Each structure stands twice: as C-alpha cells, then as structure tokens.
C-alpha cells in the first residue's frame, strides 16, 4: 500500500511539473490568432477555366474527339451450342496419334 502512495505521488509531481513547463512556454511564445478560414469561392474556378488559352482548349477538344472516335465496339459472335458440342465430340484418336507422331519426330 505505501508503494502505491509513493508511485502516485511521483506521478502527480511529474504531471504538475509538466503543467508548469507548459504555462512557461505559453508565456514565452505569445500565440498569434489563427487567420479565419474562408470557404473556396466558386468564381475563382471559373476564372481558371477562362485563363486557358484558346489554342490549348482546341487541342484538348481535338484529342478528346480522337479518343472517342478510336473506341472500337466489340461484338461477341453468337455461339451455336449444337455445332460447338458436335465439334468437341468429333475427336478422332487415330488422327490425333498420327499428327502427334508427325509433330514430335525423333531426330537421330
């Protein structure tokens, strides 16, 4: 029990010294008031858009038009399931063995 009182006293002493140092620091450096924050003005954004030279705007529009015209439409072919299953099931083992032997010839 006495150990807890001693530890509590030490912690309180450290905290009180910290508070004193903070108060001294506040007196040394006077805090300047913060500037009031102003919300962004929408007119500034429109002024930036107007500041773009005409040539640059035309080039940007041209590039955008080229990018849109270069887009390709991908059309997937319609697959007939009956023909597809027929193609898959019509496997000739004899023909496959002959083609494999032709492709994988043993060279001596």
Per-residue pLDDT tens digits for 14-32: 999 999 999 988 888 666 6
**pTM reported for the whole predicted model:** 0.28
Q: Please, which pLDDT band fits residue 89 given cuts at 50, 70 and 90?
A: low
From residue 92, alpha-carbon distances to 80, 86, 88 in Å are 22, 12, 10
Comparing CA positions, the residue from 90, 74, 73 lying closest to residue 82 is 90
Most confident of 21-30, 33-42, 44-53: 21-30
List the structure tokens of 50.
Answer: 């107007």
Can you tell me the distance from the alpha carbon of 102 to that of 98, in angstroms, rounded to the nearest whole number? Answer: 6
């Amino acid at each position: 029990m006495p150990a807890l009182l001693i530890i509590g006293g030490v912690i309180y002493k450290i905290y009180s010294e910290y508070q004193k140092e903070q108060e001294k620091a506040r007196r040394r450096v006077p805090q300047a008031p913060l500037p009031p924050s102003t919300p962004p003005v929408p007119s500034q954004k429109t002024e930036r858009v107007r500041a773009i030279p005409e040539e640059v705007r035309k080039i940007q529009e041209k590039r955008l038009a080229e990018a849109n015209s270069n887009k390709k439409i991908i059309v997937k072919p319609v697959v007939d399931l009956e023909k597809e299953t027929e193609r898959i099931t019509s496997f000739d083992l004899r023909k496959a063995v002959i083609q494999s032997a032709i492709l994988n010839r043993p060279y001596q």
